[in-house]
Amino acid sequence: MDDFPVHSLRESTRNVLKLNRRFHRDEVSDVQRSIKELSISPQSVADAVQKLKTKCLITITDLQTLKNGLMEDSKNIEVVLSTHGALRGLVRELSGHDIRKQCAAAGCCCNLALGDARACMAIAKAAGPYLNAALDNLTTELAVTCAWALGNLAGSGAKVCDILVAQGALAKLCELLLLNNADVQDAALYALLHFAFHMEDDFKTEYLPKVLSALSKLEANLTSSQLSFVLSCHADFRDNMPEEFLQKMLATLALSVKNHTANCKENNLCCELVYVIRTLANMDIEMYGAILNFLLENNLGQSLWQILNLNNSVVNESLLWLLGNLHNCCGDNIFFSNL
């Protein structure tokens, strides 16, 4: 497999992950946010930070104010991190017994995790174990917010990922994929995507079959498709891919082709199709015959040709890569005669 297209496609995925990291920060911060709180003054943020520092009684309103303030102005991240004892105060509230304060404190950590690598390193060391512990909480909002926070932290780079993995984050996130809770599963997928992307081949092999098996059972969406592609670039992917994963990718391909043809006209990464195609292109050559047979049996040849005529360069690049791999291995297959 040519290294250039892989590098190019991984770079496009990197850009999407950077956007997703901020989108999730905004979603967490907008939870239960009222209109009157839309403008947070620097003094309000400073007051909340001082309460965290001095162990004064901090209210849920104070924590919500800080959470929203961190979203509105990135300078407030530095205010928290430069105030001795403030981060420790957030950890104290996160590990407390008031579930509302725990959720708000987790939201603060999630927004703090949108800082630079230095900031994320400090947050991971101080709050990582408590974010991991809260993943088991039966309150969905807390578990989801903590998973998003871990994903944002992992999004800052491999060094922070290593710290979080040593704290047990990957093991916990893999367990969340097995829960019968779609919100928690989606949050775990978001976090695992960032871990897998930044760790690359250092993503522990023991977790590969667990995640791939879970992906085979979950309903496909953009995040799960991105994760599938990133994991398919792992050096040990082919040795750890369960058979049902291929069947899941093929079923998702059929649905994605229809959805893309009907709904996606923009020249960007607008749906899961592009990542499903990339994942299939990374399959072992022994799987290529099964992929071609599936395309034939489901009459997808004309649909793929129609997609190429939509002039979506992002999708076309990936689709031509897949078709090129299939042709190089199985050029005499009847699929290519009918295309």
The pTM of this model reads 0.89
Assess if residue 222 is contained within a domain. Answer: no
Length of the chain equals 339
Residues 1 and 148 in one domain: yes
Residues 124 and 4 in one domain: yes
| 237 residue type, one letter | F
pLDDT in tens, 4-63: 444 555 555 555 555 555 555 555 444 433 334 457 889 999 999 999 998 778 999 999
Name the DSSP letter for residue 74.
Answer: T
Specify whether the CB–CB gap between 185 and 177 falls below 8 A. yes
19: tokens are 């956007």
* Residue written as token pair 């779609």: 182
Residue 115, H or E segment: none
C-alpha closest to that of 199 among 229, 237, 169, 155: 155
How high is the mean pLDDT of the chain? 88
Residues 246 and 339 in one domain: yes
* Residue written as token pair 């079923």: 251
Residue 181 has pLDDT above 70, yes or no: yes
pLDDT in tens, 307-334: 988 878 889 999 999 999 999 999 888 9
Residue 100 has pLDDT above 70, yes or no: yes
Residues 145 and 255 in one domain: no
SS3 148: helix
Q: What is the CA radius of gyration of the chain?
A: 22
Specify whether the CB–CB gap between 177 and 188 falls below 8 A. yes
How many domains does the chain divide into?
A: 2
Specify whether the CB–CB gap between 191 and 24 falls below 8 A. no
Assess if residue 158 is contained within a domain. Answer: yes
Residues 148 and 269 in one domain: no
Residue 101 has pLDDT above 70, yes or no: yes
Residues 138 and 22 in one domain: yes
Whole-angstrom Cα distance, residue 96 to residue 102? 7
Residues 158 and 247 in one domain: no
Whole-angstrom Cα distance, residue 85 to residue 64? 19
By residue range, what is the domain housing residue 301? Answer: 239-339
